[in-house]
Chains A and B, each alone.
Chain A
Amino acid sequence: MALIVVVWSGIIAAVSFWDVWPYLLWMYFAPAFITGNLQSWRKYIEHVGMTGHTANSATRSIVAKGWLGRLVSLTLLHEPYHGLHHLHVGVSHAELPGLVSDLRPLTPGERHPFPSYRHALMDLLRCLGDPRVGSQWRGSPSAP
């Protein structure tokens, strides 16, 4: 925390001294604001409405077909293989794609991977009427 205060005090002082607030706004605050939203949307897409207690029934994973999807996956450190992220907790992100066969559903309720975040988002939107997360909700009454 002390490091954060020191570093950002220096940044704010420098920005004030050179009067470059628009640069800070466009190069840091605007992207950071969008990043926070992206992070939350990705988290919700991966989990909201999933009430299973296995990796494939408690997460939505993305296995992209096209180059753009694969580039997105690479630049998100393979986070879209989210079921594997939970299934193999101790495995480095670079090794997750090699374990993709583990995303094949084996038990009732497990989900196939989605081909893109757009497909998973549509699935999330259908769950928003009853946005429960985790197996602890199983058996409890659904939302009115």
Chain B
Amino acid sequence: MPLTRNPHLRPLDLPAMNEIPTSETMDEPHWVSRSAFQIVVFLFLFTQIALFTVLKSGVSLWFAVPLVLLASHLMHGAAVGFHEATHGRLRPNRTFNEFDGVLIGTFSFLPPSAFIAPPISLIMPISRPSVMRNSGPLSFREHRVGPAFSRRCSNSPSAFSTPLFSSSALSSAKAHRFGIKKYADAFGSKWP
């Protein structure tokens, strides 16, 4: 597939609106923490306590508005965490990952199965060789964690154990990959 731009789209390279970060900016240290999700949760908890205090004290509700906006942003971060959890990437520990996913999903009215979908590489096909290495067929862990995640939230422990321990998990993974390939072919995506 050629790499030319869509001629029907307007050019979007106006420098005023798409300021190009310098290499200095790109290489500057970024704020990174493996505990970012925990930080978000505790900030949200403190915000809720402050919000409760404002409401309880009976002062003007205008004092609650900035706290509501802050809580909204932190809930947004938690929603991103839910997305990460469904990919099994929120927490290194699988149990914690599933617990957090179920917890966020419960309070946001979203069963985790709602987010278990074909890999992102199919929704957003990528062509770089390095990308294909990373976004290739799902690992065995992903194949079994995905169904397990949804079953655990919806049904019994026995249903949860099925994809984890049965020998059919591997064969179903192969079938799943075949299904994804058909999906990719149908939508013109590349698949190794």
Q: B121: shortest Cβ distance to chain A, in Å?
A: 6
Q: Which listed residue, A31, A76, A87, A113, touches B72 by the CB 8 Å rule?
A: A31
Contacts across chains A and B counted by CB atoms under 8 Å: 213
The smallest C-beta distance from A19 to any residue of chain B, in angstroms, reads 14
Is A94's CB under 8 angstroms from B32's CB?
yes
Assign chain A's interface to a size class. 35 or more
Contact call B106/A3, Cβ cutoff below 8 A = yes
Chain B interface category by residue count: 35 or more
Q: How far is the CB of B86 from chain A (nearest CB, A)?
A: 13
Given contacts A86-B120, A108-B4, contact A77 B36 (CB under 8 A): yes
Q: Would you call B106 and A70 a contact (CB within 8 A)?
A: no
Contact present for B51 and A27 (CB under 8 Å): yes
Chain A min CB distance to B84 (Å):
6
Of B9, B108, B139, most A-chain CB atoms within 10 Å: B9
Is B59 part of the contact surface with A, judged by Cβ < 8 Å? no
Within 8 A of B (CB), among A94-119: 94-95, 97-98, 100-101, 103-104, 107-109, 111-115, 119
Q: What are 17 A-B residue pairs whose CB atoms fall within 8 Å in the complex?
A: A3-B106, A27-B51, A27-B71, A38-B76, A39-B79, A55-B126, A73-B30, A86-B126, A88-B131, A90-B135, A97-B32, A101-B27, A108-B4, A129-B10, A136-B187, A136-B188, A142-B9
